[in-house]
Amino acid sequence: MANTVYVQTAANLFCGDDDPTKSKHLTLEEMRLPSLEENYGEHTPGGALIGVEFSLGIKKLEAGFKLKGFDPNLLSQFGLGSKQRNVYTSYGVIVDKRTGRAIESKAIIEARLGRISQDAFQRGQLAGCDYALNEIVSYQLWFDNKEKIAWDFFTNVWRIDGIDQNADENTILRIGTA
């Protein structure tokens, strides 16, 4: 891949998979995909001069979005109103600044809508709501129709660029991924 700069220029979000009536393209102000962050544990051996930190896995995933206006349909997806997780699919337009080509990015998140935080009302201002996605149990990130990241809590799958990073561990622990 030649040196270039990729810039996201547009986004859309479906709250409840790809049902066309659930598109948020008119109200979406912000979409926060999960941050990828490792957990580390520190260790300073008794006979060592300098300590070290070891990677111990990946922290839980959190994501969210902000919509302008009020969305009564999302209230029924919130926390105790819904005992199940929902699928949230985000599409982005990424422009290759070298060639001008528009590229699709896609994120699929299975989660619970765990927080709805309304902006304060001010006359003459367009208020909105911040939404938090919690209890994320599945996450996929696609770029240019290629899977970049795939993680599933229940099957213990962790793929990067289509390669299962957890295959050896799953084999040793006799965890099926089918």
| Domain membership flag for residue 174 | no
| Domain membership flag for residue 89 | yes
Round to whole Å and give the CA distance between 136 and 28. Answer: 20
Which pLDDT score is estimated for 16?
82
Residue 79 sits in a domain whose CATH number is 2.30.110
Higher pLDDT, 22 or 53: 53
Range with the lowest mean pLDDT among 16-25, 58-67, 116-125? 16-25
Q: Where are the beta strands (DSSP E) in 3-101?
A: 6-15, 28-32, 38-43, 52-58, 63-68, 86-96
How confident is the model over 29-55, as a mean pLDDT?
94
Range with the lowest mean pLDDT among 16-25, 62-71, 89-98, 145-154? 16-25
Domain that holds residue 88: 6-35+61-144
- Residue 123 scores a pLDDT above 70: yes
| Domain membership flag for residue 163 | no
Query: Domains in the chain: how many in total?
Result: 1
Q: Which of 89, 88, 93 is nearest to 143 (CA)?
A: 93
- Residue 146 scores a pLDDT above 90: yes
Question: What percent of the chain has a predicted confidence (pLDDT) above 90?
Answer: 80
CB 95 within 8 A of CB 102: yes
**If pLDDT is split at 50, 70 and 90, which confidence band does 18 have?**
low
> What is the pTM assigned to this prediction?
0.89
| Domain membership flag for residue 95 | yes
| Domain membership flag for residue 66 | yes
74-97 residue pLDDT tens? 888 887 666 788 999 999 999 999
| Domain membership flag for residue 81 | yes
| Domain membership flag for residue 72 | yes
CA angle 133–56–39, rounded 5-degree value: 45
| Domain membership flag for residue 42 | no
How confident is the model over 42-62, as a mean pLDDT?
93
How confident is the model over 24-40, as a mean pLDDT?
95
